[in-house]
Chain A
Amino acid sequence: MANYQQLSLNHLSFTYQHDRNPVLDDLTVSVPLNRIIGIIGNHHAGKTTLCRVLAGIVPQIISGKLTGDCQIGDQSPVRDWPAYNQQTGFVLQDPHSQLSGLADTVADEIAFDLLNHGVKETDIQQRVTTVAAQLQLTAQLQQSPDSLSGGQLQRLAIATAIVTHPNVLILDDPTSEMDPQGRRDFFNWLKTVTHTTIVIVSNEIDELCETADELWILEKGHLVSHGTPLQVMNHLNPEWQVTTPMVYQLARLMNWPLAIKPTLFPVTLNQLRRCVNVNHSNQ
């Protein structure tokens, strides 16, 4: 019997049309809803394609051969796409492509999604203001989207995705053009989001380990590891060539394992702090 309280992939494979090799190969995993799932992997691992499957872009808009099943809560991006799409926010890798091109100002660009969802004009104003404040775009509301920097454009792309209060938020490398402060602010904001299942592809392994509840590692279309950041980072295969967080590298160097599980090394600052305290009290 299907569990409607989780995101589950069941033997999911996908091959693009005119391609021979599958980009995603036999992915099976399940995670409870309303968690943050971080996806990592090297080039051509299938991260963007997995995001596209989760958003329903493939096979609804980009065609190809999809086998297996993908279920998010009681809906499937494959079977009930129009209804599912209403509850999903998606941020593309290239923030320029996220823009409608039909808005003169940042405020109008954010409001575009709300107009599409049939939200009343009186509510639109309030929701646009709130989202702009969350993503530090208030000063840019009256500017043209074309005048924004790369980082601001990425924040705008995120704003357009979250303004409709989606149940599922899929973020494909949303911080690639942000400066370090902007990146930190974004991940701090991400921690505050509730009642939303978030799937995020990112190369920011330190922030991802701090934020994500679950990490998935993709390697040439295969899901080679999944679990909490602590589990995943402590059981890496060198062949996957995945970078480890600074905290983990430092802890290994200093030989500061977790007190409760001495075989594992910390991957977050909080875990590291506890290890350091234990080590100090032992000395």
Chain B
Amino acid sequence: MDIRNHSLQKTVRLHWYNVIDPVTKLLLALFLTLLSFQLTDLYFEVGLVLISLTLLLLSRLSVATLHAVSFSLFLIATMILIQGLFNSHNTHPLVTILSITLYQEGVLYALNMGTRILIIIFSIGFFMNTTTISENATYLESVGMPYNQVYLLMSVCYILPQIQQNLNKIQFAEKARGINLQRTLIQKLQSLLPIMIPLIIKTFDQSINRSITLQLRGFNSPERTIATPMYHYFKPKFNHYFLVFMIMILIGVKLWQIISNFL
């Protein structure tokens, strides 16, 4: 029985996104985000939303992503309302409901911002849902990043999920004792406030313990065998160069636009 080498491929069916390396996914997310900030036409923005949404739907949809999307849709709706009513450039009425008028300029501005938020969430969601922390760590190490730097990077990625995990445990315990019913948003916020400081302290404490363990387990040993990547990725170097080139172009265009304003 092959228990370790490429164990994931043996037990789980390979998906199309498994042949894209983590750095390419991250660069793709960055590229789509920068492109959305570069574009001003709403149709192009909607096109980008559809592209990033397709990426997300063709990968694995997690509950966390659905929560993030629903929260951002709520934010976008609020933005449309506020901008449609109070944007300083509002001149052309779009729609009037019960004597309240929403203006075109404000609504378009909010929609533009909203599409950017969605593009960021969809593309980052695609990266998060299709890449595990260990896949990231293994890949970064295999491309030559020193392991202690890899670990530092991964520890930062770990802090938020760990806080979430600890929070769930505390809230579950509170609910089991019937002291945290959380029926409304206000109740949820009220229940969160008293446990914030112990929660953060506990998470940092766990991080310190983990760092002690890793030193004991010899993670920074000079003898360390460099881990082999989990999957055979499709043309990773070409993808990196291509996406970095495109990102540089987008940054260059943006810089030129800023500079040309002063000329």
Contacts and interface: CB of A to CB of B under 8 A. Distances in A.
Interface string B203-217: 000100110111111
Given A61-B215, A104-B134, A117-B218, A97 B151 contact: no
Nearest to B161: A101
B8 interface: yes
B210 A101 contact: yes
Contacts of A268: none
Given A108-B134, A117-B223, A100 B213 contact: yes
B227 interface: yes
A55 to B, nearest CB: 6
A103 B4 contact: no
A114 to B, nearest CB: 8
Interface of B: 1-5, 7-8, 11, 132-135, 137, 151, 154, 158, 206, 209-210, 212-219, 221, 223-225, 227-228
8 contacts: A86-B221, A97-B209, A98-B213, A100-B219, A107-B3, A115-B227, A116-B223, A128-B3
B217 A160 contact: yes
A230 interface: no
Given A92-B209, A105-B7, A108-B4, 10 more contacts: A62-B212, A92-B213, A97-B210, A100-B210, A100-B213, A101-B154, A104-B8, A105-B4, A108-B7, A119-B225
Contacts of A99: 210, 213
Most chain-A Cβ atoms within 10 A of its Cβ — which of B214, B216, B219?
Answer: B216
Interface string A158-200: 0010000000000000000000000000000000000000000
A115 B220 CA distance: 11
Contacts of B135: 104
Contacts of B133: 101-102
- Chain A interface size, as a band, is 35 or more
Nearest to B155: A101
A120 B225 contact: yes
Contact of B225 (A57, A61, A118): A118
B209 A61 contact: no
Nearest to B158: A101
A221 to B, nearest CB: 21
Nearest to B217: A113
B4 A85 contact: no
A96 interface: yes
A225 interface: no
Nearest to B228: A121
Contact of A94 (B137, B209, B217): B209
Contacts of B158: 101
A90 B213 CA distance: 8
B37 to A, nearest CB: 33
A23 interface: no
A112 interface: yes
The 9 closest A-B pairs by CB, nearest first: A118-B223, A97-B209, A116-B218, A107-B3, A115-B225, A107-B4, A102-B137, A102-B134, A104-B134
Contacts of B218: 85-86, 113, 116-117
Nearest to A98: B213
> Quick one: which of B132, B218, B224 has the most chain A CB within 10 A?
B218
A105 B7 CA distance: 8
A206 to B, nearest CB: 30
A151 B219 CA distance: 25
Nearest to A89: B216
A142 interface: yes
Interface in A119-139: 119-121, 124-125, 128-129, 132
Contacts of A104: 7-8, 132, 134-135
A111 interface: yes
Interface string A25-64: 0000000000000000000000000000001010001100
B5 A125 contact: yes
A166 to B, nearest CB: 11
A61 to B, nearest CB: 5
Given A113-B217, A116-B219, A107 B7 contact: yes
B3 A142 contact: yes
